Amino acid sequence: MHILLTIIVFIAILSILVLAHEFGHYYFAKKAGVRVDEFAFGLPPRLWGKKIGDTLYSINLFPVGGFVRLFGESANEAGALKNPRSYASKTLRQRFLIVAAGVCINILLAVFLLFIGFLVGIKPLLIDQQDVFTAIRDGQLQIKTGYMIKEVKPGSLAENVGIEPDDLLVEVNSRGVITQDLLTQSVQHGKDLGLSLKLRRGDSLIQLNIPKQKFDDKGLGIGLYESFMVPRILVQSVDAQSEVAKSGIKAGDILLSIDNVPVYSADDYQSLLTQKAVKIRYERSFKEYETTVTFPQRHSVVAGDIVFGSGAEKSGLKKGDIILQVDHQDVISPEQAIEYLNAAKASGKPAQVLLERADKTSTLYVSAGADGTYGVRLAPIINQNLGMVLEGSTLPTTMVELRPVRYGFFKSLGMSFTETYRLGKATLSMFGTLITDLFSKFSVPEGVSGPVGIAQMTSVFVTEGLLSLLRFMALLSLSLGILNLLPFPGLDGGRLLFIIIEGIIGRPVNQKFEQAVHAIGGICLVLIIFAVTYKDIAALF
């Protein structure tokens, strides 16, 4: 039943998008006075047709998309140039609008669908890594490190051995699950070698040993949540005498956040250490912990360039001095030092600065100059050893839940245009990557899907509900519009290019040459679609 519903929805979505595109051509052709010979739903052979005026409205056997047939689309058509109702007889501007209308309708449809989605509440569109980080920070995206089991098929081997939904895969055959390929290979070899699994379920670690005799051709019978790779900071080693060790953090732990702000890199880690005592959330064996670390006095702020004749120079401050305190208050960051210096300036008193120079501490009284500034650039000191050695890594992360966003009328309208622009840029970038990879690596990049892949994604969105389908339809409509706009032979953009060339040179391009170029472009498009479809089919197996 689900497969049948998916097929129906897939055909309906594709037909709506293509018909909307063709309606753009149809409407502007009618408006320009061009005779529209046929407006068709589906692809031939024809099942039914009714002529109203000059136009035959038809329904065809294959219910995927549709087309519009205009009189005089080819200047070689008999009487096309002389007949005022032919496409070929129209002005450059009119022909440009007729060709571009399909693209415009698809883009406007995407804007409209996104507007409705933001108005009623849809899940945010995550295009790149920064979008993911923003969604995590704003609480829209709930994640878990590692691969989490979403479903266990009834009667499967997984159900029989006690695997449950929301279990986290900690180890497979005594190895950490770094990639999904490793998991797939381990399961495939289960009937020859058996399978050892370590799972995290709540606060418990569960060890399962499945002998090879229990495996059959149906495999394990689990489905995973959607996952992606996220940069993380791993604790490589911990000084046994440090405050970090006393707080409970150990080698092998993963740092998740500092004072509730997620950390993904060493720079994040350094920039967030603005207090002497910080709350650190970390993970060990896929279980989260939280602790407070009170660091010793840290040398975190250094005096950089000093303006000649400034208050800082007159006070005796030198480049390279390490700022320890301002008015008896520890400083961890340049921002803190500036805050305390400005407070002293506001009080009309010199700031008492404790500093370190050549491994010796001393105190200076620093005043602002006549211009009201201190005349010194303060910079952070990074890469300090604060009791642990860190290393960067990239770890698989499960997208547990992506919460919808909802805005008011005007915010939704603005966001629909903003998201359309962002998605359009991403679509162009992805198409460029596709062409580059096809001709340089003879491969299709990840993230590019053809009809088979789109049908497979439709199945997922059907399960998620109407709003997810709305978002998916908006993305497809925009992709259809943007790709058709590219100046590639065989696409609307290619036809627009020849119209522009005609305007530049002052005469039509040779029709036989144009038709040959579009034919070659059409063959190239078919080959590209074939390559993408082959990748989609291979991915199914």
Task: Name the nearest CA neighbour of 186 among 174, 204, 202.
Answer: 174
Q: What percent of the chain has pLDDT over 70?
A: 88
| Residue 77: per-residue pLDDT | 64
Read off the pLDDT of residues 157-169 as tens digits, 9 standing for 90 and up. Answer: 888 888 899 999 8
Question: Side chain identity at 34, as an amino acid letter?
Answer: V
Least confident of 20-29, 377-386, 454-463, 473-482: 454-463
**Which stretches within 376-465 are classed as H helix?**
409-440, 451-464
Q: Report the C-alpha gap between 194 and 214 in whole angstroms.
A: 8
| Residue 136: per-residue pLDDT | 84
Read off the pLDDT of residues 262-283 as tens digits, 9 standing for 90 and up. Answer: 888 877 776 677 667 889 999 9
Inside any domain, residue 96: yes
Q: How many domains does the chain have?
A: 2
At 347, is the secondary structure helix, strand, or coil? helix
Kindly state whether residues 10 and 119 are assigned to the same domain.
yes
Report how far apart, in Å, the C-alpha atoms of 434 and of each of 438, 446, 475, 530 are.
6, 9, 18, 13
Inside any domain, residue 142: no
Q: Token pair for residue 209?
A: 């040993």
| Residue 327: per-residue pLDDT | 92
Report how far apart, in Å, the C-alpha atoms of 68 and of each of 23, 53, 237, 254, 491 are.
8, 15, 68, 58, 14
The 8-class DSSP code of residue 314 comes to: H
Considering 380, 412, 435, which residue would you say is the last residue of a domain? 380
Q: For residues 199 and 208, is the Cβ–Cβ distance under 8 A?
A: yes
Instruction: State the residue range of the domain holding 330.
Output: 301-380
| Residue 535: per-residue pLDDT | 67
Inside any domain, residue 498: yes
Report how far apart, in Å, the C-alpha atoms of 398 and of each of 143, 225, 231, 342, 473 are.
5, 6, 13, 46, 25
Q: Report the C-alpha gap between 331 and 274 in whole angstroms.
A: 8
pLDDT band at 118; cut points 50, 70, 90: very high
Q: Report the C-alpha gap between 42 and 57 in whole angstroms.
A: 11
Write a three-state SS string for 285-296. CCEEEEEEEECC
Q: Assign 3-state DSSP to the chain and report helix, strand, coil percentages, each to 5.
A: 45, 30, 30
**Averaged pLDDT, 205-232:** 83
Kindly state whether residues 450 and 344 are assigned to the same domain.
no
Backbone dihedral region for residue 65 (phi beyond 0: left; psi -120 to 50: alpha; all else: beta): left
Q: Report the C-alpha gap between 113 and 94 in whole angstroms.
A: 28
The 8-class DSSP code of residue 384 comes to: -
Least confident of 106-110, 234-238, 426-430: 426-430
Inside any domain, residue 236: no
Query: Is 158 exposed, middle or buried (CB count within 10 Å of its CB: 0-12, 13-18, 19+)?
Result: buried
Q: For residues 44 and 61, is the Cβ–Cβ distance under 8 A?
A: yes
Task: Name the nearest CA neighbour of 39 among 70, 14, 84, 15.
Answer: 70
At 288, is the secondary structure helix, strand, or coil? strand
Query: Is 163 exposed, middle or buried (CB count within 10 Å of its CB: 0-12, 13-18, 19+)?
Result: buried
Q: What are phi and psi of 152, to 5 degrees?
A: -120, 120
Kind of pairing, strands 301-306 and 322-326? Answer: antiparallel
- CATH code of the domain covering residue 366: 2.30.42.10
Considering 345, 380, 415, which residue would you say is the last residue of a domain? 380
Q: For residues 220 and 151, is the Cβ–Cβ distance under 8 A?
A: no
Inside any domain, residue 170: no
Kindly state whether residues 474 and 518 are assigned to the same domain.
yes
Kindly state whether residues 335 and 426 are assigned to the same domain.
no
Kindly state whether residues 36 and 118 are assigned to the same domain.
yes
Kindly state whether residues 363 and 473 are assigned to the same domain.
no
Report how far apart, in Å, the C-alpha atoms of 429 and of each of 207, 448, 480, 525, 533 are.
45, 11, 14, 17, 20
Kindly state whether residues 365 and 488 are assigned to the same domain.
no
At 237, is the secondary structure helix, strand, or coil? strand
Inside any domain, residue 232: no
Q: What are phi and psi of 278, to 5 degrees?
A: -130, 150
Kindly state whether residues 353 and 409 are assigned to the same domain.
no
Question: Side chain identity at 87, as an amino acid letter?
Answer: Y
| Residue 540: per-residue pLDDT | 58
Considering 380, 415, 448, which residue would you say is the last residue of a domain? 380
Question: Side chain identity at 402, as an amino acid letter?
Answer: L
Q: For residues 170 and 199, is the Cβ–Cβ distance under 8 A?
A: yes
Q: Report the C-alpha gap between 446 and 170 in whole angstroms.
A: 26
DSSP string, 12-28: HHHHHHHHHHHHHHHHH
Q: What percent of the chain has pLDDT over 90?
A: 16
Kindly state whether residues 365 and 410 are assigned to the same domain.
no
Q: Report the C-alpha gap between 447 and 453 in whole angstroms.
A: 10
Kindly state whether residues 420 and 345 are assigned to the same domain.
no
Inside any domain, residue 41: yes
**Averaged pLDDT, 272-301:** 81
At 398, is the secondary structure helix, strand, or coil? strand
Kindly state whether residues 408 and 535 are assigned to the same domain.
yes
Inside any domain, residue 139: no
Task: Name the nearest CA neighbour of 227 among 182, 287, 164, 281.
Answer: 182
Write a three-state SS string for 240-275. CCCHHHHHCCCCCCEEEEECCEECCCHHHHHHHCCC
| Residue 533: per-residue pLDDT | 67
| Residue 116: per-residue pLDDT | 93
Kind of pairing, strands 195-201 and 204-210? Answer: antiparallel
Read off the pLDDT of residues 419-464 as tens digits, 9 standing for 90 and up. Answer: 899 888 888 887 777 777 777 766 666 655 555 556 556 666 666 6
Q: Token pair for residue 33?
A: 């006075």
Task: Name the nearest CA neighbour of 213 among 196, 190, 229.
Answer: 190
Kindly state whether residues 493 and 365 are assigned to the same domain.
no
429 Cα distance to chain centroid: 12
Cβ of 10: how many Cβ atoms within 10 Å?
Answer: 20
* Residue appearing with tokens 């007889």: 89
At 226, is the secondary structure helix, strand, or coil? coil
